[in-house]
Amino acid sequence: MANASERLEIIRARMERARRRFGAPPSRVELVAVSKTFDAAAIRPFLKAGQRLFGENRVQEAKEKWPGLRAEFPEVRLHLIGPLQTNKAREAVALFDVIETVDRDRLAGVLRTEMARAGKNLPVFVQVNIGGEEQKSGIAPAEAVGFVERARHAHGLDVVGLMCIPPEGMPSGPYFAHLAVLAREASVEKLSMGMSGDFETAIAMGATHVRVGSALFDERVK
């Protein structure tokens, strides 16, 4: 089994080939290493190999493992990529550098309040329920552009991009293309889309951030 450095090199090489092959608009695509469910011992080899951008799904889980790791690796940037409850907003603002899952007005308002309290202005992504799935979080595609405007002007958030998770078992390309159209209409530059099985397709459609977990971590290092 490849070690952490080799796995990172493989994924980054695939990302760069996809970027050059498809001529995606962004000059650089960032790798968000999805470290949810993995403990500090499993994450540390990737930190030692140079990875500095990580994604976590749950505030409480991140709170338990990242303060210690950040003491060792202060350059780390953390993205919250899972649903956020309003009662966890204060902790999320304290712990994360970017929140990718803003999807409703109430959360936007609470985040603005907590950022003001903390003296921060974190960049955020608006999560779009691109497949219209009842079980998934996210703003409806038809409401995404209007919600971005409200999040910016009514709530004062620094909305920098859109994020989505396409329906499982369906070709992801059309959903990524739809999100890219919405991003242009909403005048945002960043697109967080694509995971281990489809990040090259996401890059072809203009992703600026890809969230890769299983292709880096596996059960043997969990």
Q: Of all residues in the chain, what percent carry a pLDDT higher than 90?
A: 91
DSSP H helical segments within 129-172, as ranges?
141-153
Q: What is the DSSP letter of 52?
A: -
User: At 210, is the secondary structure helix, strand, or coil?
Assistant: strand
* Cβ contacts of 101 within 8 Å, gap of 6 or more: 80, 81, 82, 83, 84, 125, 127, 137, 138, 163
pLDDT of residue 25: 59
Q: How far apart are CA 90 and CA 118, in angstroms?
A: 8
DSSP H helical segments within the chain, as ranges?
4-22, 40-48, 59-72, 89-95, 105-118, 141-153, 173-186, 199-204
What is the tens place of the pLDDT at every residue in 115-168? 999 999 999 999 999 999 999 999 999 999 999 999 999 999 999 999 999 999
Rounded to the nearest angstrom, the gap between the alpha carbon of residue 216 and the centroid of all alpha carbons in its chain is: 16
Report which residue type is found at 203: I
Number of domains comprising the chain: 1
Mean local confidence (pLDDT), 92-105? 98
Token pair in block for residue 148: 């971005």
Q: How far apart are CA 103 and CA 109, in angstroms?
A: 11
Residue 169 lies in domain: 4-221
* Cβ contacts of 64 within 8 Å, gap of 6 or more: none
For 171, phi and psi rounded to 5 degrees? -60, 130
Q: How far apart are CA 190 and CA 181, in angstroms?
A: 12
Residue 24: which pLDDT band, with cuts at 50, 70 and 90? low
In this structure, what CATH number is given to the domain that contains residue 184? 3.20.20.10
User: At 1, is the secondary structure helix, strand, or coil?
Assistant: coil
User: At 160, is the secondary structure helix, strand, or coil?
Assistant: strand
What is the tens place of the pLDDT at every residue in 44-83? 999 999 999 999 999 999 999 999 999 999 999 999 999 9
**Residue showing tokens 């959903």:** 175
